Structure 1
Amino acid sequence: MKEEDHLKHIQDAINGLPEDFNILEEQIDIELQIAYFEMAREMRAESMDRSTIAEVKTALYHPDIELEEKKRLLVQLAAIDDVEAFRIIEAFHKQADDEIKNWSVLALQESRMVIQSSLLGEQQVFISTGLGGKGQNIRYFVAMMHAEAKTPFNETQRKLVESEFRFFLSESEGELEEITFDDHFVTAVFLFPLKQNLHATFKSFIDECNQYGNFLSEDVIITNVKKLDVDEIKEFIKKAKNGRK
């Protein structure tokens, strides 16, 4: 009951979003995102003067400027309502090293939002997850298990799961990106509209599959934080079972 209430609160919050919102498309580690937004919040008082934009541009490319300082400069640039600042971040991002590439993605997205908010006269909504998204769809990772513990899916069951999953996703304007059968698990990465009811779609999908032998467990792991490997899935299941005792 508590879990259903939690899901309802999440769905209510999602339903309260405006019609137009922005989703971060890139897959960026959630810890890095937290670090970026914490720095952005801390530095809001350190507003950058537009007259210093040219100096900042030079500093971003200077070999003697340390990585942490470049991160701070990008955060400061992103807060400026100025197309020139956006273009500087955009150019830097295109040639950025791997160690700062994802940071520049977040700065670019924030700069875009600041400018859009100013032009449209209303606050823009920005949604980011570890797995990113596409358009107004969020990317999810799911792990499903065979109803009989440690039993592998046979060929017929594999074909059924994949075909039904594709069908139910397409009916909801979602998209299956990849699916893998490994041992007694099936894992998949898929896109799903943020405002659609994911819980209801999965229930219908599992019910449909189980008309052909009740082989698919109703317990699933769904996350938009990162892809899980088999060991992480097993550890999650173990913790969930211990929590029920």
Structure 2
Amino acid sequence: MPEQLGFDLPRVAALRRADFLVAPSNAVALAMIEDPATDKLVLSGPDGSGKTHLAHIWAAQRDAKILPATALREDAVPNLAQGSVALEDVPLIAGDPEAQTALFHLYNLVLAEGHALLLTGRSVARDWGLTLPDLASRITAAPAVSVQVPDDALLAAVLAKLFADRQLTPKTDLIPYLIRRMDRSFAAAGAIVERLDAASLAQKRPLSRSFAATLLDKEDPGAR
């Protein structure tokens, strides 16, 4: 049988509950996301750790809107507050007083209307750098949960999912090899799959251990 080569096919991230990979590092976060009694929640974790996937699970259960914090404007608050809202990457508005004021009003109005609010960021809320005191105090007092660094089993599952999202089928020895070579983070997993996908497509080579070794040694000759 001829070896499978990469093709430039549409990349679809699977963000349904059924696609979420549960492990000790994220089980508590998932439980809080799925708890219907949680009307406000601060979700933190490193880049690529699954925060966006969890936000989509949360939003699907509550028919909520999802938007980046940097897109929030005060004139949109009354309309947004008619339902539940997930606001991603809140620390990015730390230097934007107008956006922080809009979030302060959204925070109060969403809860007053009986809806729910989810806020996400890389670090814990006390380190978000928010300068509006009333907003910062509300967020730091809200229930919070963090997604932790993945173990080998979860990292392997995430790599497999990232390849599948790109409609790629790596050789069976590739993922164990990558886990030994890469940084232990979801962000690193996403970056390495993207690099391998692009290189495989450009060179018309199958996704194998030997191909990955050649690529990674070329990028970082000192790595073993």
TM-score (norm 1): 0.23
> Could you say which structure has the higher strand fraction?
1
The structure number with the bigger radius of gyration is: 1
Q: Which has the higher relative contact order, 1 or 2, with Cα contacts under 8 A spaced 6 or more apart?
A: 2
